[in-house]
Amino acid sequence: ASPTSNMKVLIVLALVAAASAAPRPDVSHLLGQQHHHHAHPVQGAYVKPPAILRQIQETSEQGDYKYNFKTENGIEAVGQAQLKNAGSKDEALVSEGTYSYIGDDGQTYSVNWVADEFGFRASGAHIPEIPEEIKKGLEQSANEPEDDGQYREDPNAYDRGQVYTQYQQQPQVFAVRKF
């Protein structure tokens, strides 16, 4: 490569660099924009994660487990699970435990919980009670026969005693006028 062609390449690169670094003109009026909204990143203070003061975890091959931990900021949790009715069609993992934490108001909140074949249930002094109407509905559902998912034809589906009537349109009368 000749010194002249090297100089031309250097000049072209310098022009490209200068054009890239130049401030861009405001063309928002051409785009119909009248206001500029620039995003400013919000920086929060770094919060050091709380130290773990206690952490115990035990598991078995059957799926049973136990855990227990506590952090320096007042979070504590204890839980365990056991396989119920192992090997049967009613096999279920039953888990239960408790956890607590200190709220922004300085109060300690504790939650006791159970998770089993009936779902997840939690209770605590700060958790509202289930309204009576819902309790009654749950009790009623619990006393009804369980749906096993099998199709059962409605015995009244083809009842010949039913009478179906069709809507009959009434004749419409039009008056014809001569002009």
In whole angstroms, give the CA distance from residue 41 to residue 44.
10
Q: What is the pLDDT of residues 29-46, one digit of tens each?
A: 555 555 555 666 777 888
Structure token pair of residue 122: 């939690």
Q: Where are the domains of the chain?
A: 52-140
Q: How big is the chain, counted in residues? A: 179
Q: What is the pLDDT of residue 107?
A: 95
Helix (H) or strand (E) holding 142: helix 132-143
Q: pTM to 2 decimals?
A: 0.51
Q: What is the pLDDT of residue 32?
A: 56
Backbone φ, ψ for residue 79 (5° rounding): -155, 160
Contact 78, 100 (CB under 8 A): no
Q: What is the pLDDT of residue 122?
A: 93
Structure token pair of residue 4: 């002249």
What are the beta bridge partners of residue 123?
112
Q: What is the pLDDT of residue 25?
A: 63
In whole angstroms, give the CA distance from residue 97 to residue 119.
14
Q: What is the pLDDT of residue 52?
A: 94
Q: What is the pLDDT of residue 115?
A: 93
Q: For the chain, which ranges sit under pLDDT 50?
A: none
Give the count of alpha carbons within 13 A of 32, CB side only: 0
Q: What is the pLDDT of residue 164?
A: 58
Q: What is the pLDDT of residue 16?
A: 72
